[in-house]
Amino acid sequence: MRTAIYPGSFDPVHLGHLDLIMRAEKLVDQLTVAVLQNPTKGCSFSVHERMEMLQSVTQHLPHVKVTSFEGLLVDFAKKQKANFIIRGIRAFSDFEYEFQMALVNRKLASDLETIFLMPKEKYSAVSSKLIREIGFFGGDLSEFCPKELLPKISAHLKNRKP
């Protein structure tokens, strides 16, 4: 069985994330979307809220499971019996960081492969950080976030630290 993990903070989930989830789901038998619990990273949404949002937008995808993890990704991947890590690449700057992480993960777990996926061009500029900034100032997020999550994300981000 081909199992993959798509890890991230998903703070908040956006259309670029959803695009990668739908692309990755076609490549494997089971895709685990794993929300990182990192207390040092000040997230706008709780782990529970991020998982709920992901579950809401992926419930129609039968091979997708949403969970959370903390610690090293390779340790989590071993526990999940994953074969692959899915990572999104929007620009060359993403590739440099992701390439470093893939090499380190390979040293820590040589049997775990990293697959890089590019989102559709229209999502290549979308990032959670950008969404938090636009939301903070009350901007229109409809081009960036799943429509069913727009009210929740917009209300939550308005006048909150980006």
pLDDT single digits (tens) 72-85: 999 999 999 999 99
> In the annotation, is 128 catalytic?
yes
Domain covering 3-121, topology: Rossmann fold (3.40.50)
User: Out of 14, 17, 23, 132, which one is annotated catalytic?
Assistant: 17
Task: Read off the pLDDT of each residue in 52-78 and give the average, rounded to a whole number.
Answer: 96
Weakest mean pLDDT among 42-46, 77-81, 112-116, 152-156: 42-46
Across the chain, mean pLDDT equals 93
Compute, in degrees rounded to 10, the torsion defined by CA atoms 154, 121, 43, 65: 100
- Alpha helices, DSSP H, located in the chain: 15-25, 47-58, 73-79, 92-108, 128-136, 150-157
Residue type, 19: D
Query: How many CB atoms neighbour CB 139 within 10 A?
Result: 15
- The structural domains of the chain, with segments of one domain joined by +, span 3-121
pLDDT of residue 38: 79
Give the pLDDT band (50/70/90) at residue 162.
Answer: low
Query: How many CB atoms neighbour CB 101 within 10 A?
Result: 13
In the sheet with 113-117, reading across from the earlier edge strand, the strands are 64-69, 30-36, 3-8, 84-88, 113-117
The answer to whether the CB of 15 falls within 8 A of the CB of 148 is: no
> In the annotation, is 129 catalytic?
no
Residue 92 clears pLDDT 90, i.e. is over it: no
Name residues whose C-beta falls within 8 Å of residue 123's C-beta, 6 or more positions apart in sequence: 14, 15, 16, 19, 90
For the chain, how far is it from start to end, CA to CA, in angstroms?
40
User: Out of 78, 90, 106, 156, which one is annotated catalytic?
Assistant: 90
> In the annotation, is 122 catalytic?
no
> In the annotation, is 79 catalytic?
no
